[in-house]
Amino acid sequence: MYSEIKNGGVTSAKGYKAAGVACGIKDGIKRDFAMVVSEKTANAAGVFTRNVVKGHSLQLTLKNLRATGKADAVVVNSGCANACVGADGDEAALKVVEYAAKKLNTKPENIIINSTGVIGKVLDWKAAVHGVDLAFDALSVEGGTDAEAAIMTTDTVKKEYAVSFELNGKTINIGGMAKGSGMIHPNMGTMISVITTDAAVSSDILQRALRETADCTYNRVSVDGDTSVCDMTVIMANGLAGNDEISDWDSPERELFSEMLKVVCEYLARMLAKDGEGATKLMEVKVVNAENKEQAYTIACAIAKSPLVKTAMFGEDANWGRILTAAGYSGAEFNPDTVDVYIGDVMTCKNGCALDFDEDAALVVLKKNEVVITVDMKAGDAWDRMWSCDFSYDYVKINGSYRT
């Protein structure tokens, strides 16, 4: 139904260029300013952190998107969150947006901006404006990977993906990039993602599709249970694929577009979880045969963020009791005497009771870089899942000295 675009990212769709440059917000050597530009004004939508505290750059983006539902470009800096600094942070974000709009010959309202990094420092807007100049001169179809590198903070690997598919005789492309390694939890925890498509999609449909997709992808990632103040995923749709605009939510065209958007975001979400700070393995928690969706989500979320479960995964210890315990304190109501727990394909607990399971077989599972934990509630037909990672010694090292 779709094909993966080799080395695809935010410039895989028609009409997009990008760049990532070093403008001096960090150390003058590392890339710290990204720009993604559409050659045609695009319909745009976004999903943002529900943290009451929000960075000043993000606040400006919320204002701009609500006013226009359009975008010509996205600019993101790393190295400074531009958060919790008062009016100076608002002014810095506005100066960068106004300069970028002038450079791109568009309105400031059509520029999406965000910042990521240390909270409590004002964005050096002069350095960021310099970044606009450098990025503008470097814009290219090949620049997506550099843009991805420029938004990374504690990430250890780049996170890019793109797919191509046919829609009513037209070739549609969707590509994206994401950053995030720590402070990640549902309701948009510290991660930033930029998605581009050449499909023609109305702003209303785009917003609804993105929110629905984020709920089952990005909002199913938990690295450490924390959420930050600059989190967002945004999408631009410039229509250059030439399809009739998707404007009916119940149409098969919208359903296919949403399905492909989910493919891209799920891939990126799994990469976010796998690259958790200090992580050595991806942990997928599946709760199946639950009484309802809420029960399944609540239990999966508790297990995914449990420090004891995560440390057991790092230590390759099949300590299933921690899994059942996390389910028990999750807040979900259930009968523990019907619950089975699996680590990979090894059943470790049946009907809430210990089994004499094969420890060696469980160890084989736990030594893999991806581990699936399954909790079978045997109470209905609902299910949900979360992606998380183990907690290693390096997680403490990274976060114990983040500002330095």
CB atoms within 10 A of CB 68: 15
Task: Report the alpha-carbon distance of residue 62 to residue 200 in Å, rounded.
Answer: 22
Task: Report the alpha-carbon distance of residue 206 to residue 224 in Å, rounded.
Answer: 30
Give the count of alpha carbons within 13 A of 288, CB side only: 11
Q: Which residues are catalytic?
A: 190
- The CA distances from residue 298 to 186, 219, 287, 304, 373, in Å, are 11, 13, 9, 10, 15
- The CA distances from residue 247 to 47, 213, 255, 259, 395, in Å, are 19, 17, 11, 16, 45
